[in-house]
Chains A and B, each alone.
Chain A
Amino acid sequence: MKRLFFVILAVLACVVFATEYAVEDELLTPDPSPKIGGTLRLALASTPESYLLYGTLDSSSYSVIMGPMFSTMVEMHPVTNEIRPALAKSWTVSTDGKEVTFKLREAYWSDGTPITADDVVFTFQYFVMNKYARGNSIDRFTIPDEQGVNRMIEWVKLDDKTVKAILPSPYGAFFTVLSHVYIYPKHKLEPLIDKNDLGSVNRVWLSNTDPKEIVVNGPFKPVQLITDQKLVLERNPYFWKVDRFGNKLPYFDRVEYLIIRDAEMRTAKFMAGEIDFMAIASRDYPMLKEQELTGKTPYVVYATQPNQPTPSPIHISFNFDVDDPDLRSLFIKLEFREAMEYALNRQRIIDEVFAGLAIPDAGLILPSNKAFYNPKVEQLLRPYDLKKANELLDKLGLTKRDKEGYRLFPNGKRVEFNLLVQNSPKEYQDVALIFAEDLKKLGIKVNLQILDSSLVGQMFGAGNFQAGIRAFGNQPDLQLRKAIWQPGTQLYYWHYSTMDKTKTPPQPVLENMLDWEKRIWELFEKAQIEMDPAKRKAYYDEVQELYHIYLPVIFVCKGMNIWGFNKTLGNAGLTDDSMLRFTVWTSYRK
């Protein structure tokens, strides 16, 4: 018995020494004397539906899988968004940009099995590129080859620790999209999948799985799930990161997610000191900050420069294909949309709707995104100026007015349109109200059409609206938002005639695009197959400028991110650039 114990110990020691650790940088571990141990307490909005990222579309599952439980081949630095090695310790790109060879780190699953190229190929084959998997990413790994035919990226195992990606053509966002691919263990999952029914991947590792069955390659592994109450994770002894002093990460022994459905209750629990870190709603910020300033609270709150996809920046759109012929010819005129931007009182919206916690100059890309943001858009934003707006509308020939003071079309019809808004979040309605108020001053009647969000989504999706207020999240790389901002795509909903919906998949219709839309379309296509970051930035810079010059949509503002920290957390807070500093593997309890 004793001998067996020593054998196990020796094997374990070998594994631990063989691991090629990655060293976490100073940005995330500024404190030279962290304490090891203890429990990190976080909040979760509902019981995760699955432990398999690709089998679910549930956001609670996403938040426990991404970061705490699973690792990727390459990862984005949590503060700077730079791509850095993760499970792949290094890679080489061939000179034509079409082959990327990854060397995998000597690292282990939480049950001690080595992580190999087989796991990578398996993850891509059965999950990422499996069209029956609910959370697949086929779109992101399918790109046109030189002939313009869409083809999938291929993955080939060279040996246990080497894997090669063969791209149909160079693909600029390759590493960014790869940083979202969480690698799963082949040796645990392959036996659970029915290979004749690829939809079966959606039914493995669901919420009724014994957490101890789950094998991970991230900092923590699950040990206990109590339905609708708590999810407990424990340190993964095989995690492959160390801090810059040689301590094994993570610092905490355990992570406990309290499952709390109601947002008010989450805030209450945070105030009571039962939750260490969470995102705070902007409406709670003034109250929490005021309490914090009394010095008696167990927490601190910070408003940071937005650097996350959510909260989504709100925009106003005008349907270029609207049924009403008068409105159609009006909406498509640039002067009209310019007048609309002059009539948009961004500052008032930020002050009154967002309690000052929003930035006006966020369009397609956030100012905090050093890799892609084009600061020129700040000069392109048209400031609130009703006089200019009035002049532009007069120039369009809308000079006649009726008895109530509303402008008339030359044919005598009143200039009025419906503005479609969903009923929640409430900010959307508030923006609509302020905008409609200003348009009334210009002599344009706006009828607010406030409806349930699912219905509104359907109406936008069918192009069944006149004007609307909507929001889509930002992403670190514009390539990942191609499905929204490139003309001729499913979410380019304000000009659906640029897309042929009868074909599957839908095809762009170039002849229906305006000149500047054609240019945007081309720029997206060019940036996609460009590997040189500087050239990609130039393409995306132009897209950003075109969006602000020609106003396919008018961006309103983007809410700031607000974070609450328990005061006892170390390595957590803001960096010198006011960016969020927090990860589950580098924070500790002081």
Chain B
Amino acid sequence: MWSFIVRRILIMIPMMFFVSIICFVVTELQPGDFLSQYLENPRISPEQIESLRRELALDKPAYQRYFMWIKNIVTKGDFGYSFSYQRPVVELIWERLGWTVAISILTIGFQWLFATLMGIYSALHPYTPIDYTLTVLGFVGLSIPEFFLALVLVYLVLRVGGTAVGGLFSPQFIGAPMSWAKFVDLLKHLWLPIVVVGVSGLAGLMRIMRSNMLDVLGSPFVTALRARGLDEKTVRKHVIKNALNPLVSIAGMELPNVFSGTIIASIVLNLPTIGPFFYNALLNHDQYLVMAFLLFIALITQIGNLLADIALALLDPRIRIS
């Protein structure tokens, strides 16, 4: 087991290196650079743009910039400066990480809880009206784009006279010390992003859970359990435990979603997460910020996969790591 983990971690290093090259090439292929947004600004003279270009090293060829960047990461742990904020990118990302993680974990929790419950219920009552209703609801959620659902919900809330739209708090609570009133205000705002982001993933997970359950229900060991006279509650317990296996392996993939899955919803709903910030950096060609964030996501994905494998091994004794 340990040698497996160590080997997997060692493989991550060249992987990250390749990922960084691919990301760099892709961002480099984008037309223009950080300074192109200022070309049309008559306040900024062409000479000034040239001197900025030198200052930001944008006049150097791409491969040189790449190696400079990698060198600083490896030797100093320095992921570079943001062109626009002129501050270390790690610091900027760190500032925005708290709410990102909190909101995403809540929405993912919501999603998984409801998806598994709905899946289990559907599988235990297949082809009943409720099964069909749940499926239709799930698919409707899946097919409506997040931003659209967000806008519709915002519109409906405003329509019925509510004001708790966008952001996490009413203005008077932003920055105020935590209190009961502030917590209630948070709840009033939080349901929107959770529903918007959560609903979109419900159908997929629910269908996986449902089919897993049906598979397991039809397998010989269930028949054997029943034949031995176990009561239906115990049988169900075993079925659910077995059906959860494939879901656990997907769970590893959820980890990067924690950071990047809510970008569009966050923009529309004005959540202070990393998503809109990253999106803006992309538009502005704030290259090192974009790169550092992409690397971070890649690393998280790999760690997520590793954790999923470990969890699977622990959950299912049949899986052996060799």
Pair A491/B42 contact, Cβ less than 8 Å: yes
Instruction: Please give, as numbers and ranges, the residues of chain B lying within 8 Å of A411 by CB-CB distance.
Output: none
Q: Is A269 part of the binding interface, using a Cβ–Cβ cutoff of 8 Å?
A: yes
Q: Nearest-CB distance from B14 to chain A (Å)? A: 33
Pair B280/A46 contact, Cβ less than 8 Å: yes
Pair B280/A227 contact, Cβ less than 8 Å: no
Question: Which A-chain residue is minimally distant from B168 (CB atoms)?
Answer: A229
Instruction: Please give, as numbers and ranges, the residues of chain B lying within 8 Å of A58 by CB-CB distance.
Output: 84
Choose among A132, A199, A230, A481 the residue with the greatest number of B CB atoms under 10 Å from its CB.
A230
Instruction: Please give, as numbers and ranges, the residues of chain B lying within 8 Å of A134 by CB-CB distance.
Output: 48, 52
Pair A268/B277 contact, Cβ less than 8 Å: no
Q: Is B127 part of the binding interface, using a Cβ–Cβ cutoff of 8 Å?
A: no
Q: Is B141 part of the binding interface, using a Cβ–Cβ cutoff of 8 Å?
A: no
Query: Majority SS of interface residues in chain B?
Result: loop
Instruction: Please give, as numbers and ranges, the residues of chain B lying within 8 Å of A264 by CB-CB distance.
Output: 151, 268
A502-520 residues with Cβ-Cβ distance < 8 A to B are 504-506
With A46-B280, A505-B47 in contact, do A273 and B272 touch (Cβ < 8 Å)?
A: no
Q: How far is the CA of A269 from the CA of B170 in the complex (A)?
A: 10
B33-86 residues with Cβ-Cβ distance < 8 A to A are 36-48, 51-52, 55, 84-86
Binds A, one of B19-27, B158-166, B229-237, B314-322: B158-166
Q: Nearest-CB distance from B169 to chain A (Å)? A: 8
Q: How far is the CA of A334 from the CA of B257 in the complex (A)?
A: 59
Q: Nearest-CB distance from A181 to chain B (Å)? A: 13
Question: Which size bracket describes the interface of B in this complex?
Answer: 35 or more
Instruction: Please give, as numbers and ranges, the residues of chain B lying within 8 Å of A208 by CB-CB distance.
Output: 87, 91
Binds B, one of A20-28, A337-345, A375-383, A455-463: A455-463
Instruction: Please give, as numbers and ranges, the residues of chain A lying within 8 Å of B154 by CB-CB distance.
Output: 265, 268
Q: Is B95 part of the binding interface, using a Cβ–Cβ cutoff of 8 Å?
A: yes
Pair B42/A206 contact, Cβ less than 8 Å: no
Count A-B pairs with CB separation below 8 Å.
Answer: 131
With A265-B270, A268-B158 in contact, do A274 and B171 touch (Cβ < 8 Å)?
A: yes
Question: Which B-chain residue is minimally distant from A142 (CB atoms)?
Answer: B45
Q: How far is the CA of A461 from the CA of B268 in the complex (A)?
A: 34
Q: Is B96 part of the binding interface, using a Cβ–Cβ cutoff of 8 Å?
A: yes
Q: Is A176 part of the binding interface, using a Cβ–Cβ cutoff of 8 Å?
A: no
Q: Is B167 part of the binding interface, using a Cβ–Cβ cutoff of 8 Å?
A: yes
Q: Nearest-CB distance from B83 to chain A (Å)? A: 10
Instruction: Please give, as numbers and ranges, the residues of chain A lying within 8 Å of B87 by CB-CB distance.
Output: 206-208
Pair A202/B86 contact, Cβ less than 8 Å: yes
Instruction: Please give, as numbers and ranges, the residues of chain A lying within 8 Å of B165 by CB-CB distance.
Output: 265, 268-269, 272
Q: Nearest-CB distance from B213 to chain A (Å)? A: 40
Instruction: Please give, as numbers and ranges, the residues of chain B lying within 8 Å of A226 by CB-CB distance.
Output: 174-175, 272
Q: How far is the CA of A455 from the CA of B40 in the complex (A)?
A: 12
Q: Is A258 part of the binding interface, using a Cβ–Cβ cutoff of 8 Å?
A: yes
Q: Is A41 part of the binding interface, using a Cβ–Cβ cutoff of 8 Å?
A: yes
Pair B163/A272 contact, Cβ less than 8 Å: yes
Pair B280/A139 contact, Cβ less than 8 Å: no
Pair A260/B36 contact, Cβ less than 8 Å: no
B48 partner, pick from A136, A203, A269, beta carbons under 8 A: A136
Pair A505/B171 contact, Cβ less than 8 Å: no
Instruction: Please give, as numbers and ranges, the residues of chain A lying within 8 Å of B36 by CB-CB distance.
Output: 454, 457-458
Interface size on A, residues (CB 8 A): 59
A244-262 residues with Cβ-Cβ distance < 8 A to B are 256, 258-262
With A455-B32, A484-B42, A505-B47 in contact, do A265 and B269 touch (Cβ < 8 Å)?
A: yes
Instruction: Please give, as numbers and ranges, the residues of chain A lying within 8 Å of B268 by CB-CB distance.
Output: 262, 264-265
B158 partner, pick from A258, A261, A271, beta carbons under 8 A: A271
Pair B175/A483 contact, Cβ less than 8 Å: no
Instruction: Please give, as numbers and ranges, the residues of chain B lying within 8 Å of A203 by CB-CB distance.
Output: 86
Q: How far is the CA of A266 from the CA of B183 in the complex (A)?
A: 24
Q: Is B177 part of the binding interface, using a Cβ–Cβ cutoff of 8 Å?
A: no
Q: Nearest-CB distance from B34 to chain A (Å)? A: 10
Instruction: Please give, as numbers and ranges, the residues of chain B lying within 8 Å of A273 by CB-CB distance.
Output: 163
Question: Which A-chain residue is minimally distant from B55 (CB atoms)?
Answer: A199
Interface flags, B183-211, vs A, CB<8A=1, else 0? 00000000000000000000000000000
Q: How far is the CA of A232 from the CA of B174 in the complex (A)?
A: 10
With A454-B36, A483-B45 in contact, do A224 and B175 touch (Cβ < 8 Å)?
A: yes
Instruction: Please give, as numbers and ranges, the residues of chain A lying within 8 Å of B267 by CB-CB distance.
Output: 261-262
Q: Is A490 part of the binding interface, using a Cβ–Cβ cutoff of 8 Å?
A: yes
With A269-B165, A272-B158 in contact, do A454 and B48 touch (Cβ < 8 Å)?
A: no
Q: List 18 A-B contacts (CB under 8 A).
A: A58-B84, A131-B51, A206-B85, A226-B272, A228-B276, A228-B277, A229-B272, A230-B171, A258-B174, A260-B167, A265-B154, A269-B165, A273-B163, A452-B32, A454-B31, A454-B285, A457-B39, A472-B42
| Residues on B facing A (Cβ under 8 Å) | 31-32, 36-48, 51-52, 55, 84-87, 91, 95-96, 151, 154, 158, 163, 165-171, 174-175, 267-270, 272, 276-277, 280, 285
| Residues on A facing B (Cβ under 8 Å) | 41, 46, 49-50, 55-58, 131-132, 134-139, 199, 202-203, 206-208, 224, 226-230, 232, 256, 258-262, 264-265, 268-269, 271-274, 452, 454-455, 457-458, 461, 472, 480-481, 483-484, 490-491, 504-506
